[in-house]
Structure 1
């Protein structure tokens, strides 16, 4: 069909690679115009049998269930498998939008794993990207906050792609009209109580002044190029000044002190995220305290930081590792460890504890501090310790870092 919106080339290349590998493509569909158009575009390009569609109902609006059913009917009419996932975790306390976002991605990654899907496409558009940029301006954001939405990112082994960041919302709606397909409008998208709605209205005014989403997208792309160049510089620095010690990072304190403050902060943000597996870095003021006093022991962002004057060791905080709970030995533990050994249904993985160390007679020979070992994976049967690979109690088991954490310099600055 002429005039059909095109997917951004890098995302399309990734999706083509997934199909070449024989894997189905996931697409998250809310029922709004953007994700509905994405569903149809992907179906046109790859065929209905290549897709697995999913809708997340956060249970926060009475209309959401009807919208999910509308998506289900559209998918059924086009022979696209579809599932609806429901979140029921809102307690009325805390940051609703943050909790809903985290829950949404948790549901999506679990669903993708069950479907054999390694890549999920999201329907964010050029308009969404421009709104994110302006919201960053309102916060007084620096470089990282002004580079817009990430075109792609990984979470818990699943790649999320945004193939429509170069496409205007109105172009997608025109495409749907041409297809004779409707969409659902979320009433909250017109509620001025939300920052994003107020920004959307401000952008309409800016467009009249010649500062539209397309113009802002060019600025976003330029800033993204600048950040990428800075990331390459930091990666080169890390190859010289940062060593990996199994799940820990060892940073040359002298070298860290010689970096400009902003680069030191970026380096530490990357290290804290790499060790903790967190999606976002901690507050800048907390990180700058490390820059100015790297020898002070502290906990931050699910990590334990200890300095000896020469090096700063960043390891997983034992209490944070304990909160990762227990999983099957075939699953990823604490978001970063993959175990290999004689798997069995009665075995699980959880954090090794200080109390377990006497059961690991060779733990001192590993060279890892007690606290690092207390945050390492342990295999158990009915609560009884079977193996702790990093603590020297192997019994046929090994533990390897997963999700690209085998190379901090390569993975730590790719966000």
Structure 2
């Protein structure tokens, strides 16, 4: 790995940006921080050097959470236009939640970015997540009890509601992007929320130097993410094969075939059937698989609901999955 104090170079960037060639148009998500500022300037330079690159545009989301946020977003707009890039300023409107603020702000941000991509004809959204962000994500998910899918961290290339999401800097230390901004005189802002101890990610960020001193640094956590990604791919393949072989009809499966798999594959298969890979529900999914397995061992029927899906075992060999009926509430008990 290159010296983390060394500015990221244009030759490296050219290789990192190679997936851009698959896009019809690219939307860069730029907040004004050092990572996304470097992304915008490097992308603009790449477009000048290679006219064959797809059209680029910039979008900045103003979450409205700080007094300075609008001015910072407008500064990004001016910077983008100086670079010859069209800019969209997107606002998160309405009252802000009192709990899970960062999580909901992230959801709102991506919703706005996907909408902007569709409006502008962009097929790809690009964010400037770094190696440090990947490490924090893995730690955060480890803290929340995630399985292999969660511990695989963020993907360098994924999808959001039909729009491709690229993270070209996912293997690059943040320090190299900060160094690039300083070496080139690209102004950037620092979001105080990144150091606000009210937020779990900020508290984890503060722990990183101590963890690194013990050997658990960002590259080591990224290696863990890669290995977990490989393990998850193997589990997904095994689960897909088990589901295909167990299917006996629409929503009907052979319980012995599914339950004959190792526990990790069973959990992955049930998660796919229920269409619920949420790390927050992994423990509930594991409990469901344990209950179905115990019912099969005893030869007794079982009905359980998870994530809006009714899972029913007939006590013999059949497992069925169907949408759960509406819950009975005081409002409809007498109807």
What TM-score, normalized to structure 2? Answer: 0.80
Pairs within 5 Å for 1:100-115: 100-115=105-120
Poorly superposed stretches of 4+, deviation over 6 Å? none
Partner of 1:41: 42
Pick from 260, 263, 270 the counterpart of residue 258 of structure 1: 260
Cα shift at 1:282:
5.7
Cα shift at 1:101:
2.1
Pairs within 5 Å for 1:150-161: 150-161=155-166
Partner of 1:124: 129
Report the secondary structure of 1:83's partner residue.
strand
What CA distance in whole angstroms lies between the structure 1 residues aligned with 2:8 and 2:193?
33
Pick from 270, 273, 280 the counterpart of residue 271 of structure 1: 273
Cα shift at 1:38:
1.2
Cα shift at 1:136:
3.3
Pairs within 5 Å for 1:401-412: none
Report the secondary structure of 2:132's partner residue.
helix
Q: Alpha carbons of 1:153 and 1:318: their partners in 2 closer, same or farther (altered >3 Å)?
A: farther
1:187 aligns with 2:192: yes
Pairs within 5 Å for 1:84-99: 84-99=89-104
Deviations 1:295-334 (A, max 9, x none): 54444323344454544343455769xxxxxxxxxxxxxx
Pairs within 5 Å for 1:4-403: 4=10, 6-7=12-13, 12-18=17-23, 23-47=24-48, 50-242=55-247, 245=250, 249-273=251-275, 280=278, 283-291=281-289, 292-293=291-292, 296-308=302-314, 310-316=317-323
Report the secondary structure of 2:19's partner residue.
helix
Cα shift at 1:234:
2.0
Cα shift at 1:83:
0.6
What CA distance in whole angstroms lies between the structure 2 residues aligned with 1:8 and 1:131?
26
Deviations 1:54-75 (A, max 9, x none): 1111221112111110110111
Report the secondary structure of 1:6's partner residue.
helix
What CA distance in whole angstroms lies between the structure 2 residues aligned with 1:46 and 1:38?
12
Gaps of 5+ in 1: 321-415
Q: Is the 8 A contact 2:21 2:54 kept in 1?
A: no
Report the secondary structure of 2:31's partner residue.
coil
Q: Is the 8 A contact 1:90 1:96 kept in 2?
A: no
Report the secondary structure of 2:153's partner residue.
coil
Q: Is the 8 A contact 1:297 1:305 kept in 2?
A: yes
What CA distance in whole angstroms lies between the structure 1 residues aligned with 2:193 and 2:288?
41
Deviations 1:21-57 (A, max 9, x none): xx11111111111111112222222349711211111
Partner of 1:400: none
Q: Alpha carbons of 1:67 and 1:232: their partners in 2 closer, same or farther (altered >3 Å)?
A: same
Q: Is the 8 A contact 1:34 1:123 kept in 2?
A: yes
What TM-score, normalized to structure 1? Answer: 0.66
Q: Is the 8 A contact 1:282 1:301 kept in 2?
A: no
What CA distance in whole angstroms lies between the structure 2 residues aligned with 1:307 and 1:129?
40
What CA distance in whole angstroms lies between the structure 2 residues aligned with 1:262 and 1:8?
40
* Aligned residue-pair number: 308
Report the secondary structure of 2:60's partner residue.
strand
What CA distance in whole angstroms lies between the structure 1 residues aligned with 2:12 and 2:87?
24
Q: Is the 8 A contact 1:5 1:172 kept in 2?
A: no
Greater length-normalized contact order (CA 8 Å, ≥ 6 residues apart): 2
Cα shift at 1:289:
4.2
Q: Over aligned residues, Cα RMSD in angstroms? A: 2.9
Partner of 1:355: none
What CA distance in whole angstroms lies between the structure 2 residues aligned with 1:263 and 1:41?
43
